[in-house]
Amino acid sequence: MKNKTIAAWLAFLGGPLGLHRFYLYGLGDMLGWLLPVPTALGLYGIERVQQWGQDDQLSWMLIPLLGFTIAGCALCAIVYGLMPPEKWNARFNKAAPPDAPAGRTNWFTVFAVTVSLLVGAAVLLASIAFSLQRYFEYQVEEARKISQ
């Protein structure tokens, strides 16, 4: 039986690696295998910033991929945690009764939803702010070059 609390924590902690998808849908899940790609690209963008500085244009396009992936996985954790037990068991535990314990919400589930909301919102806003800041700084630099 697929436990809602475990799925929520896997989505929050291991979501960028696709762990929640593998837990819920098995190793044949294509989205689970694709989730590490934007995660790795975002980490590569962070490495480029450390190596080349913030003026590296490729890095400011890659870093938000990591942030958006983390935020999306936090959203999955919130959706899993807030799903009613009947709907959870109907979707992921088809052979179980609608009120099976695996789909019930407990304090660990509530804590997973709360932490996912806090961290996911912070990462999403930071990714948007970083992207827009670098974009507008790039536009100012280009305008300066044209005016000279």
Q: Identify the sign of the CA torsion 128, 10, 21, 99.
A: negative
C-beta neighbour count of 55 within 10 angstroms: 12
Tokens of 36: 């590490």
Domain that holds residue 63: 4-147
The confidence score (pLDDT) of residue 143 equals 85
pLDDT, position 4: 95
What confidence score (pLDDT) does residue 133 get?
Answer: 87
Q: Find the range with the poorest average confidence among 25-34, 53-62, 70-79.
A: 53-62
Our count of domains for the chain comes to 1
Please spell the DSSP secondary structure of 20-49, one letter per residue.
HHHHHH-TT-HHHHHTHHHHHHHHHHHHHH
Report whether 80 contacts 7 (CB < 8 A): yes
- 25 pLDDT above the threshold of 80: yes
Q: Which token pair is 38?
A: 């934007």
**13 φ, ψ to 5°?**
-85, -40
Q: Which of 64-68, 70-74, 78-82, 93-97 has the lowest mean pLDDT?
A: 93-97
pLDDT tens per residue, range 98-130 = 888 888 889 999 999 999 999 999 999 999 998
